[in-house]
Amino acid sequence: MANNISPVLLFASIIAAAQPLVFAAVGEMITEKSGVLNLGVEGMMIIGAIAGFATAVTTGSPLLGVLAAAIAGAALALVFGFLTQVLLANQVATGLALTMFGLGLAALIGQPFSGVKPPPFPKLDLAVISDLPVVGPLLFNHNLMVYFGLVLVALIWAFLTFTRTGLTLRAVGEDHDAAHALGYNVILIRLTAIAVGGAMAGMGGAYLSLVRVPQWTEGMTAGSGWIALAIVVFGTWRTWRVMLGAYLFGGVTILQLNMQIADITPLWLVVLALFLAAVSVTVRSFRSSAPASPWMIGLWFTTLLAGSIAIRHPVSIPTEYLNMAPYIATILVLVAMSADKLRANINAPASLGRVFHRTG
């Protein structure tokens, strides 16, 4: 296994690893498009994970499990919706409460289910095509949830881009007062968007407990819900970019796991990142024909330094540091995406997080 990672299998496993994030992030994007910031994704995911798991184990049907997860996620989301839309509660605080409540409730419900094996999830089985080299494992050998997720993302994209209702949803997110004045029911539209976001987060959770891991452990979401929130920012509230962002993060996780198995010094990744940054800075400075900046020289110097350290000391790094990768990557991505205010805000719903209070 060491030093022998098949790229095809790697990509297949990235798709599998990223799927919960695709569900949760695209769901949250819909909610945010309607102008609501729901920080409770983590809570809705874990509730989906246990609801899906418990239902699948007791009924023996994983598909019923996914359905139950969607319902549970939506139900929890509607608690958030009721508080923030009807009772006008603070969205940040309510989202946090949702996460804490969800984590606790999932642990309570899940207590009898730890150590239980769920029924296997049905895979797409196309006999011949699945066995094709490269294309087979990459495209035709996933479980049904991956394809369902893809179809769902396409539908959501089409809904937001082409339909009148999608336009209304976005209008509510841009300016709830104007939408209200035009006669749209802002609260109802937002509640629907919140419920859809919750259902998708729930399905993402069910994917975790039924397909990805398949087992139930307390706190098994381990921050994916929060990462999903960051992915929405990364994807600048655009459906396909959000999905791409989810795959990127799935990639980070898988790469990190593979590095642990293959014993590659992660310092090489740092060297690579520094090298790419140095190249891009240099290319940019050539284009603008500006004099070499201290930044550029510093970057090249650090690249060389890190490279020589990596050659001289092939240290293996404790797994804890490697496990930090997805979280640090999230921070870096947030920084990179938010730094350019214009680009970051161009698609951000203008009413995001603002309380709508209907007067008169």
Partner 1 sequence: MLTLEPRTAGPLRQVLTPVLAIVATMIAGGILFMLLGKNPVEAIKIIFVDPLFDAYSRSELLVKAAPLALIATGLSFGYRANVWNIGAEGQFILGAICGGAVGLAFYGIDGWFVLPLMAVAGMLGGFAWAMIPAFLRTRFNANEILVSLMLVYVATLLLSALVSGPLRDPDGFNFPESRQFHDSATLPILLQGTRVHIGIVIALLVSLVGWLVLQRHVFGFQIKLMGAAPRAAHFAGVSTNRMVYLCLGISGALAGLAGMFEAAGPVGQLVPSLPAGYGFTAIIVAFLGRLHPAGIILASLVLALTIIGGETAQYLLQVPKAAISVFQGMLLFFLLAFEIFTRFRLRRSGAGATA
DSSP 8-state secondary structure symbol assigned to residue 143: B
Q: Should residue 183 be labelled a site residue for partner 1 when binding is judged by CB under 8 A?
A: no
Contact present, 121 and 214 (Cβ < 8 Å): yes
Residue written as token pair 């087992």 = 215
Q: Which residues contact 4 (CB under 8 A, 6 or more apart)?
A: 262
User: For residue 47, what are its two tokens?
Assistant: 């509730």
Asked whether the beta carbons of 233 and 25 are under 8 A apart, the reply is: no
Helix (H, G, I), strand (E, B) or coil at 182: coil
Q: Which is nearer to partner 1, 130 or 217 (CB)?
A: 217
Binding mask 336-355 for partner 1 (x = CB under 8 A): --xx-x--x-----------
Q: Does 55 bind partner 1 (CB under 8 A)?
A: no
Q: What tokens were used for 176?
A: 């709830």
The secondary structure of 85-96 as a DSSP string is IIS---HHHHHH
- Helix 144-162 vs helix 239-262: angle between axes, to the nearest 10 degrees? 150
Check binding of 327 to partner 1 (CB under 8 A). yes
Kindly state whether residue 269 participates in binding partner 1, applying the rule CB under 8 A: no
Nearer to partner 1, 148 or 327 (CB): 327
Q: Which residues pair with 143 in a beta bridge?
A: 123
- How far, in Å, CA of 231 to CA of 255, rounded? 18
Size of the site for partner 1 (CB under 8 A): 54
Asked if 29 is part of the footprint of partner 1 (rule: CB under 8 A), the reply reads no
The correct pick among 229, 246, 271, 310 for binding partner 1 (CB under 8 A) is 229
Q: Does 260 bind partner 1 (CB under 8 A)?
A: no
177 binds partner 1 (CB under 8 A): no
Does 321 bind partner 1 (CB under 8 A)? Our answer is: yes
137 in Cβ contact with 7 (< 8 Å):
no
**Closest to partner 1 by CB, 3 or 359:** 359
72 binds partner 1, rule: CB under 8 A: no
Those residues with Cβ within 8 angstroms of residue 191's Cβ, 6 or more apart along the chain or in another chain? 78, 81, 82, 85
With respect to partner 1, which residue has the nearer C-beta, 164 or 357?
A: 357
Distance CA 66, CA 143 (A): 13
Q: Give least dist CB 149 to partner 1, A.
A: 23
d(CA 264, CA 268): 8
- 60 vs 57: CA distance, rounded Å: 5
CB of 306 closer than 8 Å to CB of 239: no
Options 5, 8, 75, 107; binder of partner 1; rule CB under 8 A: 107
In the complex with partner 1, the residue whose CB is nearer, 103 or 271, is 103
Contact segment (CB under 8 A) with partner 1 among 28-36, 101-109, 254-262, 281-289 equals 101-109
222 binds partner 1 (CB under 8 A): yes
State which of residues 297, 324, 346, 350 lies at the interface with partner 1 (CB under 8 A). Answer: 324
Least separation in angstroms between residue 87's CB and partner 1 is 5
Which residues of this chain interact with partner 1, rule CB under 8 A? Answer: 39, 43, 79, 83, 87-90, 92-94, 96-108, 110-111, 218-219, 222-223, 226-227, 229-230, 233, 318, 320-321, 323-324, 327-328, 330-331, 334-335, 338-339, 341, 344, 357-360
